[in-house]
Amino acid sequence: MASFANGGVGYLILGIRDDGHGRAQKFEGLQGNVESTVKSIRSLCLNHLDPRVSGLEVDRRMVDSHALVLVRIPRSARVPHMMTFQNATEFWSRYEDGKAQMTREEIREAFQTNPPRVRRRSRPQRRRITLVQNGGFERNLEGWGTGLLEDMPHIRPFASAHRFVPFGGAVARWFADARDSHSGRRSLRVEHESDYAPDVFSTLSQRVPIERGAVYQARFWARVEDKGAGAFSLRVALSRGEWDRFKVKIRGGPSRWRAYRLRFSSEDQRYVDIRFAAEGPVKAWIDDVAVRKLKTRQ
């Protein structure tokens, strides 16, 4: 896994027989307790990779009645990753003909490209009343999901496993990330890879309780790493069919944290859907999501 992280994104599949030269032959499946295997992989990554790989995904799959474990190693922004085991410390990477230990020159170039950073002290968070649960993503994606769409049968299975939902075959990842944050230790990382096309997007939502006949403001902070040709926005939906009535888009430009605000009226609704959406290639961090009731003049 260290070699994949240092050499680029890759997949590791456990439960397939190869020919001894890295070429897959057939599904054999894993024997015994597959859940124990998953936990062991996660433990190895936490204890023997330095720095740890953010966004690592370990999943169980059934293929032709065979149990497989699929590990997705994302493209890392913190190379090189060092493998530590017993008294050994080694740097590995992937090449066209397989994996091998990195040379001193390759290790030196990796450190020069990504110099170690002293992590700044997190800004203290002011305790302000907000209706959003886990708006700072300190508890991963707890409290987030599909919002008003959560009762739709064709959405529920994917959303229960991943929280976010891709539509139209979109390729995307939404996860809590410790690499950067506006405050606290984590933020929401969004990586939408699919090209822009009609009805191809990914979304993450939260259903927020509100009072009828009141005015509210939604606010969040965003830092764009790579906007490309894509778009990222926050939408406030009062009903399932709404999409563009209340909407604010994030802008590209300087790679710095920027605040965005969206004012809306609750009308006769008791719940509102706070929905982030990504369309086309875009990479960004989101943090400190909040919804507050505004005081209005009588």
Q: For 37, phi and psi rounded to 5 degrees? A: -65, -45
Q: Would you say the pTM of this structure is higher than 0.75?
A: no
Burial of 241: CB neighbours in 10 Å, binned 0-12, 13-18, 19+: exposed
pLDDT digits (tens, 9 = 90+) for 128-167: 567 899 999 999 988 898 765 655 555 555 555 567 888 8
pLDDT digits (tens, 9 = 90+) for 238-294: 876 666 678 898 876 556 899 999 999 988 988 888 999 999 999 999 999 999 999
Q: What is the pLDDT of residue 153?
A: 54
* Domain at 147-293, CATH from 3.30.1370.60, 2.60.120.260, 3.40.190.10, 3.20.20.150: 2.60.120.260
Q: What is the pLDDT of residue 90?
A: 80
Where is pLDDT greater, at 8 or 268? Answer: 268
Place of tokens 């050994």: 88
Q: What is the pLDDT of residue 121?
A: 46
% of the chain surpassing 90 pLDDT:
24
Q: What is the pLDDT of residue 150?
A: 55
Is 5 strand, coil or helix? helix
Q: What is the pLDDT of residue 48?
A: 79
The residue ranges of every structural domain in the chain are: 2-113, 147-293
